[in-house]
Amino acid sequence: MPEVTIKNLNSKTIHCNSKTEKLLDILLTETDWMHACGKKGKCTTCTTEILAGQDALSGYTEAERRFINLGRLKEGDRLACQAEVHGNVTVKAPGTYKLPHIDYSE
């Protein structure tokens, strides 16, 4: 099964339960991850920097393309609530959406 590694959480690795889980669901199994709109792709609080494995994610959704066009999501970043994981991915919580109660390693 795929693995998601969170670089700025001391390279914490989370093992996925299936080959088609949403990135946010995977992240929430073993850590807190910012998210506010109920996984509907209506905000950018679950933005995740993809460091490796972009090709192991589903294609950009309409919601993600809208935020890219508005300049609220950088090319290469993903909304964790929208991206499905199909293989190994390395991610990072961006500075803007780091949670204050978590000790990040960078």
Domains held by the chain: number: 1
| Torsion sign over Cα 18, 45, 96, 67 | positive
- What is the DSSP secondary structure assignment for residue 55, as one 8-state letter? G
Give the pLDDT of residue 17.
85
Q: Which residues contact 65 (CB under 8 A, 6 or more apart)?
A: none
- Examine the pLDDT at 19 and tell me if it is beyond 80: no
CATH code, domain with 48: 3.10.20.30
Provide φ and ψ at 5, rounded to 5°. Answer: -105, 130
Give tens-digit pLDDT for 32-81: 999 999 999 999 999 999 999 999 999 999 999 999 999 999 988 999 99
Specify if 106 maps to a domain.
Answer: no
Range of the domain at 51: 3-97
Specify if 103 maps to a domain.
Answer: no
Specify if 102 maps to a domain.
Answer: no
Specify if 72 maps to a domain.
Answer: yes
- Examine the pLDDT at 24 and tell me if it is beyond 80: yes
Q: Do the beta carbons of residue 39 and residue 81 sit within 8 Å?
A: yes
Q: Do the beta carbons of residue 88 and residue 54 sit within 8 Å?
A: no
Q: Do the beta carbons of residue 24 and residue 89 sit within 8 Å?
A: no
Specify if 48 maps to a domain.
Answer: yes
> What pTM was computed for the model?
0.93
Specify if 42 maps to a domain.
Answer: yes
